[in-house]
Every structure is written in structure tokens, then in C-alpha cells.
Structure 1
Amino acid sequence: MNFIIWIVVGGIIGWLASLVMKTDAEQGMILNIVVGIVGALLGGWLLAPLFGTGTINQNDFSLGSMLVSFLGAIVLLMVVNLVRRGRTR
């Protein structure tokens, strides 16, 4: 059951991050899920120690973990935009 929640929450976080970074038209549902989950991994590695919380990948579905996962997804999209276009949006 946690796997399904993880996929759904990862998809929502990836979708929200793509809306913020204005890449939603370029991404589909599967890529939004991937961005949400990989962004949560990145957020857990970079941001979780700063905020003192976990991420959705650690089965921590608190508000702090959602924020860290969301910020990680935004950082991931910024890096992808920088590599693909030579600039962030």
C-alpha cells in the first residue's frame, strides 16, 4: 500500500514542480512521477539534513517531508533545464 501512496504523492509533487518551473507541457504523467520521486531522493540528500526531516522516499508523509521533496523536484528540474537549454527558467 505504501508503494501506491508513494507513486501518487510523487506524481503530485512532480506535477506541482513542473507547474512552478513551467515544464508541464513537456512532461507527461510518467515523467511527473519520475521527477517527484527522483526529486525526493535529491531533496533527501541535499535538503533533509538542513530541515531535519525525511522525504516521501523514507515513508515520512509529513508536511516537512512534502516540502523537502517538492524543493528537491524543483532543483532537479532546474538542473535539467540548465543542461538542456543552458539556462534556468
Structure 2
Amino acid sequence: MGLLGAIIIGAVAGWLAGKIVHGAGFGLIGNIVVGIIGALVASWVLPQLHIVLATGTIGAILDATVGAVIVLVILSLIKRA
């Protein structure tokens, strides 16, 4: 996948994660960064748990969203402390 595809998937995943974890949106650039970091986290965590959500672009968005939710929950716990 190209850089533009990663940015678009990261933006969508970050936006979705911001909607799932209320009050954790970071704007467009922040959502892209959270989405890309979430995709990296999910690409490590989900195979460790033997979880395959889907394949293709939809699968990439779902994986990145799950990872971004994990990242946002961890960030909110750190921010709270």
C-alpha cells in the first residue's frame, strides 16, 4: 500500500477511534498519526491473539481502528494520572 493509502486509512481509523473513545479526538493530523500508530499496534497485537478481522481495505481500516482505540485508551489513562 502506498503512502497516500496509509494516510487515508490512518485518518479514517483515527476518526473512528475518536468517535468510539469519546473526547479523544486530536484533529485531522492527530487522527492520522493515531490511526497509523494504531495500525502498527494492531499489526503486532492481533496476530499474537490469532485474530483476523477481515482482508483488504476494509480489514486494514478495522485493524487500524482497533489499534487506534487501544492507543487512545492508553493515552487517556496516562493523561488521567
Asked if the contact 2:14/2:32 (under 8 Å) is kept, the reply is yes
Asked if the contact 1:41/1:72 (under 8 Å) is kept, the reply is yes
Unpaired runs of 5+ in structure 1?
Answer: 55-59
Give me the whole-angstrom Cα distance separating, in 1, the residues matched to 2:15 and 2:47: 21
Does structure 1 residue 66 correspond to structure 2 residue 61?
yes
- What pairs up with 1:17-36 in 2 under 5 angstroms? 17-22=17-22, 23-24=24-25, 27-36=26-35
Q: CA RMSD in A?
A: 2.1
Number of residue-to-residue matches in the alignment = 79
- Aligned equivalent of 1:42: 41
Asked if the contact 2:14/2:35 (under 8 Å) is kept, the reply is yes
Residue identity matched to 1:44: S
Show structure 1 runs of 4+ deviating over 2 A. 60-66
TM-score (normalizing by structure 2): 0.82
Asked if the contact 2:38/2:67 (under 8 Å) is kept, the reply is yes
- Aligned equivalent of 1:84: 79
Identity %: 34
Give me the whole-angstrom Cα distance separating, in 2, the residues matched to 1:31 and 1:61: 24
Higher relative contact order (CA 8 A, sep 6+): 2
Residue identity matched to 2:8: V
Deviation at 1:21, TM superposition (A): 0.5
